[in-house]
């Protein structure tokens, strides 16, 4: 895990927030790539937990998968 720095992010209903980000090797199926992850603000974590969610898959992950797959 490589620390990448603090970045601004956005979540609908919660607005903008800053989070420490990390690059973490990730495997989905047989594909492995590096994805940037960050921590959600505590209030947003608790709100999502009430809905049974552990986190949010962000657009960057989908963009990485498309790029690696050649789309």
Compute how many other C-beta atoms are within 10 angstroms of the C-beta atom of residue 48: 16
Q: Are residues 21 and 37 in contact, defined by beta-carbon separation less than 8 angstroms?
A: yes
The parent domain of residue 33 ranges over 2-69
pLDDT digits (tens, 9 = 90+) for 8-61: 999 888 899 999 999 989 888 888 888 888 988 999 999 999 999 887 877 777
How far apart are the two ends of the chain, measured CA to CA in Å?
Answer: 27
pTM, entire model? 0.69
């Amino acid at each position: 895990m490589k620390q990448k720095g603090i970045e601004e992010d956005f979540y609908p209903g919660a607005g903008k927030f800053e989070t420490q980000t990390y690059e973490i090797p990730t495997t989905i199926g047989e594909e492995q790539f590096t994805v940037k992850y960050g921590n959600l603000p505590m209030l947003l974590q608790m709100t999502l937990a009430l809905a049974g969610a552990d986190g949010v898959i962000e657009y960057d992950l989908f963009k990485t998968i498309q790029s690696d797959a050649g789309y």
